[in-house]
Structure 1
Amino acid sequence: MIKYYEFLSNGITSALIKEGSVEWLPLPRFDSPSIFTKILDEERGGYFNITPLDSSYEIIYEDYIQNTLVLRTVFKTEKGKAEIIDFIPLSLSGIIRIYESDIDLKVSIKPFFEYGLISPAIIRAKRGLIFKNPKSKEGVEILIGGEYEPLDDTEFSLKKGKGYVYLLYSKDLRYGLFSNKGFVYSDPYEAMNKAISYWRRRLERARKVNNYEEAYYRSLLVLLGLIYEPSGGIIASPTTSLPEVIGGNRNWDYRYVWIRDASYSAEALIKAGLLSKARDVLSFLTSMVDPSSKSFDHPLYTIDGTAPPAEEILDWLKGHKKSFPVRVGNAAYMQIQMDVEGAYMNALYEYYKSSKDVNYINDNWWAIEAIAEWTKKSWKSKSTDLWEQRGVEEHFTHTKVMNWVALDRASKLSVELGYKKEAEEWGRIAEEIRNDIMNNGYSEKLGHFVRYYGSSEVDSALLTLPLYGFIDSKDPRFLRTLKVIENELMVSEGLLLRYKDDFLGSVKHPFTLVSTWLARVYIRLGEIDKAKKVIERLINCSTSSLLLAEHVDQNTCEPRGNFPQAFPHAGLAIAIVELEERYK
């Protein structure tokens, strides 16, 4: 396991931090412009650093306080130790850093507005600093609790002892920390205790597991931390433009709610017994359903349900490890993805199976009907697929399977609600889709399922066919497909590419979600040792605090792509629960 960034969240915004340095912090919310952006540009990105004043130090501990998103870092020098507790306070847009130290500390704060573009005006306050955006009323205030000494405009030393550095963003500084309203904001120590209690209580009702407990709880915490609490929307990842390949251009903004990713995350929360949070995610998705056209007009939405900004390049930033370009917004918003309705319907069906909440399903019958009717008349069309290749439309086998899922689950829910006519009609069309897939998505000549109709290739999405109950995992047709996937896409034990190449060329690094699919397939086949090896490989290729990126370098296990990523954490949680169920 390697050291990488740690993830902080309060359900409104998030931060990435390592070795005492906050290097990513969008404010006031997940998808806002960042004020610390060093992760995307070493020179002009900006950061918030606390380390010993003596540069000869080592970090002897950096990990979360158990089952929370509150980080504890311990530094050591010849003269003593220093402990820093970092967290994002509940309901506020900012970060609090509490210290207890035997030695003096150095604090360096260099914020920039608009992703490193705008330098702030700096104003000294009685107990800290104010960084004001010269183009607006917004700003960031730094309140220092403890004895300190200024070193220059953006640096100061903290004298040994106890204290805190409290950073708060205000859209209008007239209502900030140093205003007459300042007394209403959180006391730092009380805020820390509340944050610890909040995250621990979030997991109290989670299903207990006996295997891989630490990775399981960490995955659930990541999912919970990616939920935008005011709406229930869950983002795919808290970052933008962390590259799939260092020096390459596969750099995308993932700080939005993808229907597919969110549905899969809801499934993981359901499997873990966190039904109320899963329901929040589903309710957000339901509110996006359009009953008069394509059910989900777009594959992704902002965290408040509106259209994402147009994709653009921030050409003043060099990119993570000089991987240009840095993008904000996501042009995938314009794609027509036909699989997302099935992803949502499966999550809704899983919610019903676990909760037996007939009233909730009845209240959302209009959405079920809209999705079934849309799928009924549109499933024969080509579309982009879950991998979101740009400018590529085909009859993708996985997409067709998800069309089947949409109607199959709608039919089953109709039975539960007593809608016999709809159940029969939608079930009949689901069977028609199944036959179409068997005739066109399966190649008799090759002896396996194919990536899209007429193709000879496979992709890892075909692993989901038995996971959705489309085909039995022991069916010879699937077993032959599994063998081809293992032979052609597995690049290291337990790690697989999602496919060989796409519109940008050859794919280099494994896609972490796919490993969890493989493990779940092995569980269904009764190959428990193989399933455990895949799960263990993925855990061993996570960071030292058990966080997973979208991709991983198969040789070094270094994270690649946006980080942490909901997809693999959801998949890992589901795989661990299914393994637990297998032991019963």
Structure 2
Amino acid sequence: MSEADGGMQTLDLGVVGNGSFAALIDARARVVWGCLPAFDGDPAFCALLSPREHPGGDFAIELEDFERAEQAYIPNTAVLRTVLHDSRGGSVEILDFAPRWRQNARFYRPVSLVRRITPLAGAPRIRVLVRPLAEWGARVPETTWGSNHVRWLLPQMTLRLTTDAPLRFVRDGLPFVLNHRMHLVLGPDEPLARSIDGYVEEAVNRTLDYWREWVRYLSIPLEWQEAVIRSAITLKLCQYEDSGAIIAAMTTSIPEAPGSSRNWDYRYCWLRDAGFVVRVLNRLGATRSMEQFLHYIFNIATHDGSLQPLYGIAFEKELTEEDVASLAGYRGVAPVRRGNLAWLQKQHDVYGSVVLATTQLFFDQRLVDPGDIGTFARLEPLGERAFALHDVPDAGLWEFRGRAEVHTYTAAMCWAACDRLARVAAKLGLAERSAYWRERAERVREKTLERAWREDAGHFSASFESTYLDASLLLLADIGLLPADDPRYVATVEAIGRELRRGEGLFRYVAPDDFGVPETSFTICMFWYIDALAAIGRQEDARQLFERILARRNHLGLLSEDMAFEDGEAWGNFPQAYSHVGLIMAAMRLSRPWTEAL
């Protein structure tokens, strides 16, 4: 619901997409966010971030005398169904999707949103409002129209709406009685060379078939299947298939907490997520998506010996950060940021993340283009950088902007780079290189375990210089630095539960940073904690907590970056790919085996 409707913006949103672009749709079927022609483009639909000077930035289908709505995905698909009811017994169904299916030995996935409007009861009276804006909400684009279409001249593309609804009513936002099914096809400026109803009916059926077939081949756990499937589809929708990149989230500048200035642009690819994303795609059996992402990572990782923390979806290195004055922000919370200054930071854990991810190339026989000795040789410079930087201060995975330390997680990931290179060398029969990397891995491991342990506190610390805890320590066993039954790891997990947990939420850390003291629970950290509880033998505690976190997803099963401790309200960018990765991994660890159902 928009503020103009008398309500407050929320993250009770659905997402539709097809690997080329995505749109966020609120509980009343209003498109409130969508960047064109791709994830990193100009948000023609920017109502979510409140344009200051021009009404719109949305694509709404408003029902006169609206009373209530219901919304759900068609099971096992990315096709969203919303039903609006009026106070006079009328109702309307809106079906939203981005076309996607296999055609001519490739995937048909145009930058297109299709909306099918069907009267279900009574004589519903609707109004269609299509109001894209240009240049981040700063300008109303020039408009032209023909007999069955309207065009908007946007900075990066000309957008065309083809419809069989009364064009004047759509163009001018006039109300009319919906007495039969109507169709709206929004996309590139290309004439539709067939009947619109025929195209839409074929498109919806083929898109439904695509998603159902894709889900059919997923490897999923016995329990929590609906949650895992929805998270898997959401992760798939975060992939830009032209390059294979998987973005952190589809939005920018949704604050981490009410009134916070922690507003960041997440429409890019963070390398630190890579190892975990590849692992979950492997576990799901989504090998095509995994291989596309691996190719993206490998293209970046082997250009030279250095890495930055994040890149654009088309391998862009420079992601200059600037404030956007034309958008007031989510619930009016500024600033709205375009670009992300973190591309300039030193975050040395990325070397381990990339090597962890690309290790899959050497061990997975399903891949079309597996790793070989040449591939390994191109990865070794990353290991050299990891070894050289494992005890050099950096910004850490939480991207501190005002201080640098030798972060324990960074050192552990540098160890992981050396460790995995040793394993890969052994797999390739390169005994000398395996011994070389094994010796380096052991040196980093010994130093990390010694320098990060705090005997007086009885737990590992967030950095070699500090005594405070952070949630990344939960991952030390997961990446293999030490076994989960190591008393030091168990004690650290218990300490994190005491000091960072608040009810059903978990702080990343509680020490003040550049922007003060964190206020919300970082969603992925809760899944790390759940996974760690299970690893140290507290399986039932982990299951109960997992169930409670699942209940905090939005009405469509989607997760953002952060949650409020008190009521579980979603904050931070949305939908957060990494949160859904955490959900999938936790479900797979905790689920009863399939043999119990057979």
Residue among 123, 127, 139 paired with 1:118: 139
Instruction: Look up the SS of the partner of 2:359 in the other structure.
Output: helix
**Is the 2:418–2:441 contact (alpha carbons within 8 Å) kept by the matching residues of 1?**
yes
CA-to-aligned-CA distance 1:21-41 (integer Å, 9 cap, x gap): 100011111110111111000
Which amino acid in structure 1 is aligned with residue 74 of structure 2?
I
Alpha-carbon distance between aligned partners in 2 of 1:231 and 1:457, rounded to the nearest angstrom: 39
**Is the 2:11–2:574 contact (alpha carbons within 8 Å) kept by the matching residues of 1?**
no
**Is the 1:269–1:278 contact (alpha carbons within 8 Å) kept by the matching residues of 2?**
yes
- 1:145 partnered with 2:170: no
Identity across the alignment (%) = 29
Residue 331 (structure 2) aligns with = 321
Note closer, same or farther for the CA distance 1:210–1:499 as it changes in structure 2 (3 Å cut). same
**Is the 2:361–2:370 contact (alpha carbons within 8 Å) kept by the matching residues of 1?**
no
Note closer, same or farther for the CA distance 1:301–1:3 as it changes in structure 2 (3 Å cut). closer
Alpha-carbon distance between aligned partners in 1 of 2:391 and 2:136, rounded to the nearest angstrom: 43
Question: What is the CA-CA distance between 1:150 and the residue it aligns to?
Answer: 1.8
Which amino acid in structure 1 is aligned with residue 66 of structure 2?
S
Question: What is the CA-CA distance between 1:367 and the residue it aligns to?
Answer: 3.4
Question: What is the CA-CA distance between 1:359 and the residue it aligns to?
Answer: 6.2
Which amino acid in structure 2 is aligned with residue 159 of structure 1?
L
Instruction: Look up the SS of the partner of 1:305 in the other structure.
Output: coil
Residue 421 (structure 1) aligns with = 432
Which amino acid in structure 2 is aligned with residue 386 of structure 1?
L
Note closer, same or farther for the CA distance 1:89–1:524 as it changes in structure 2 (3 Å cut). same
Alpha-carbon distance between aligned partners in 2 of 1:316 and 1:116, rounded to the nearest angstrom: 6
Question: What is the CA-CA distance between 1:137 and the residue it aligns to?
Answer: 8.2
**Is the 1:149–1:156 contact (alpha carbons within 8 Å) kept by the matching residues of 2?**
no
**Is the 2:51–2:137 contact (alpha carbons within 8 Å) kept by the matching residues of 1?**
no
- 1:86 partnered with 2:101: no
Residue 177 (structure 1) aligns with = 191
Residue 25 (structure 2) aligns with = 17
Question: What is the CA-CA distance between 1:199 and the residue it aligns to?
Answer: 1.8
Residue 211 (structure 1) aligns with = 223
Alpha-carbon distance between aligned partners in 1 of 2:430 and 2:270, rounded to the nearest angstrom: 30
Q: Could you tell which deviates more after superposition, 182-191 or 140-149?
A: 182-191
Note closer, same or farther for the CA distance 1:443–1:151 as it changes in structure 2 (3 Å cut). closer
Alpha-carbon distance between aligned partners in 2 of 1:124 and 1:322, rounded to the nearest angstrom: 34
Note closer, same or farther for the CA distance 1:491–1:124 as it changes in structure 2 (3 Å cut). same
Note closer, same or farther for the CA distance 1:225–1:333 as it changes in structure 2 (3 Å cut). same
Gaps of 5+ in 2: 1-9, 101-108
Alpha-carbon distance between aligned partners in 1 of 2:393 and 2:177, rounded to the nearest angstrom: 61
Which amino acid in structure 1 is aligned with residue 158 of structure 2?
G
**Is the 1:270–1:351 contact (alpha carbons within 8 Å) kept by the matching residues of 2?**
no
Matches within 5 A, 1:17-166: 17-18=25-26, 19-41=28-50, 44=54, 46-52=57-63, 54-59=64-69, 61-77=70-86, 78-90=88-100, 91-101=109-119, 102=121, 103-133=124-154, 138-147=157-166, 150=169, 153-155=172-174, 157=176, 159-166=178-185
Residue 277 (structure 2) aligns with = 265
Instruction: Look up the SS of the partner of 1:57 in the other structure.
Output: strand
Which amino acid in structure 1 is aligned with residue 23 of structure 2?
A
- 1:470 partnered with 2:451: no
Note closer, same or farther for the CA distance 1:164–1:185 as it changes in structure 2 (3 Å cut). closer
Residue 5 (structure 2) aligns with = none
Alpha-carbon distance between aligned partners in 2 of 1:420 and 1:183, rounded to the nearest angstrom: 65
Question: What is the CA-CA distance between 1:581 and the residue it aligns to?
Answer: 7.2
**Is the 1:146–1:159 contact (alpha carbons within 8 Å) kept by the matching residues of 2?**
no
Which amino acid in structure 1 is aligned with residue 164 of structure 2?
G
Residue 550 (structure 1) aligns with = 561
Matches within 5 A, 1:545-584: 545-580=556-591
Alpha-carbon distance between aligned partners in 1 of 2:540 and 2:126, rounded to the nearest angstrom: 49
**Is the 1:216–1:572 contact (alpha carbons within 8 Å) kept by the matching residues of 2?**
yes
Note closer, same or farther for the CA distance 1:208–1:72 as it changes in structure 2 (3 Å cut). same
Alpha-carbon distance between aligned partners in 2 of 1:121 and 1:275, rounded to the nearest angstrom: 43
CA-to-aligned-CA distance 1:478-508 (integer Å, 9 cap, x gap): 1221121111100113x20101132111000
Question: What is the CA-CA distance between 1:391 and the residue it aligns to?
Answer: 3.1
Question: What is the CA-CA distance between 1:374 and the residue it aligns to?
Answer: 2.2
CA-to-aligned-CA distance 1:266-287 (integer Å, 9 cap, x gap): 2111111222221211111000
Instruction: Look up the SS of the partner of 1:521 in the other structure.
Output: helix
Task: Find runs of 4+ consecutive structure 1 residues off by over 6 angstroms.
Answer: 181-186, 581-584
Alpha-carbon distance between aligned partners in 1 of 2:407 and 2:175, rounded to the nearest angstrom: 58
Alpha-carbon distance between aligned partners in 1 of 2:168 and 2:587, rounded to the nearest angstrom: 50
**Is the 1:73–1:84 contact (alpha carbons within 8 Å) kept by the matching residues of 2?**
yes
Alpha-carbon distance between aligned partners in 2 of 1:137 and 1:277, rounded to the nearest angstrom: 27
Alpha-carbon distance between aligned partners in 1 of 2:564 and 2:376, rounded to the nearest angstrom: 44
Question: What is the CA-CA distance between 1:85 and the residue it aligns to?
Answer: 0.3
- 1:193 partnered with 2:211: no
Which amino acid in structure 1 is aligned with residue 169 of structure 2?
P
State TM-score, norm by structure 2.
0.90
Q: How many pairs were matched up?
A: 569
Residue 16 (structure 2) aligns with = 8
Residue 494 (structure 2) aligns with = 483
Question: What is the CA-CA distance between 1:221 and the residue it aligns to?
Answer: 0.6
Q: Could you tell which deviates more after superposition, 143-152 or 335-344?
A: 143-152
**Is the 1:146–1:158 contact (alpha carbons within 8 Å) kept by the matching residues of 2?**
no
Note closer, same or farther for the CA distance 1:151–1:211 as it changes in structure 2 (3 Å cut). closer
Question: What is the CA-CA distance between 1:299 and the residue it aligns to?
Answer: 1.1
Residue 173 (structure 1) aligns with = none
Q: Could you tell which deviates more after superposition, 156-165 or 338-347?
A: 156-165
Alpha-carbon distance between aligned partners in 2 of 1:428 and 1:220, rounded to the nearest angstrom: 38
**Is the 2:66–2:84 contact (alpha carbons within 8 Å) kept by the matching residues of 1?**
no
**Is the 2:274–2:357 contact (alpha carbons within 8 Å) kept by the matching residues of 1?**
no
Matches within 5 A, 1:236-247: 236-247=248-259
Which amino acid in structure 2 is aligned with residue 316 of structure 1?
S
Instruction: Look up the SS of the partner of 1:534 in the other structure.
Output: helix
Residue among 343, 346, 358 paired with 1:333: 343
Residue 6 (structure 2) aligns with = none
Which amino acid in structure 1 is aligned with residue 544 of structure 2?
K
CA-to-aligned-CA distance 1:338-359 (integer Å, 9 cap, x gap): 1012122223335655547696
Question: What is the CA-CA distance between 1:105 and the residue it aligns to?
Answer: 2.0
Alpha-carbon distance between aligned partners in 2 of 1:9 and 1:534, rounded to the nearest angstrom: 31
Question: What is the CA-CA distance between 1:153 and the residue it aligns to?
Answer: 2.6
State TM-score, norm by structure 1.
0.92
**Is the 1:342–1:405 contact (alpha carbons within 8 Å) kept by the matching residues of 2?**
yes
Alpha-carbon distance between aligned partners in 1 of 2:593 and 2:382, rounded to the nearest angstrom: 33
CA RMSD of aligned residues (A): 2.3
Instruction: Look up the SS of the partner of 1:131 in the other structure.
Output: strand
Which amino acid in structure 1 is aligned with residue 210 of structure 2?
Y
Alpha-carbon distance between aligned partners in 1 of 2:520 and 2:566, rounded to the nearest angstrom: 10
Alpha-carbon distance between aligned partners in 1 of 2:176 and 2:513, rounded to the nearest angstrom: 51
Residue among 494, 517, 522 paired with 2:533: 522
- 1:497 partnered with 2:518: no
**Is the 1:148–1:158 contact (alpha carbons within 8 Å) kept by the matching residues of 2?**
no
**Is the 2:328–2:335 contact (alpha carbons within 8 Å) kept by the matching residues of 1?**
yes
CA-to-aligned-CA distance 1:332-383 (integer Å, 9 cap, x gap): 0101111012122223335655547696121522333222222233323221
Which amino acid in structure 1 is aligned with residue 67 of structure 2?
Y
Instruction: Look up the SS of the partner of 1:168 in the other structure.
Output: strand
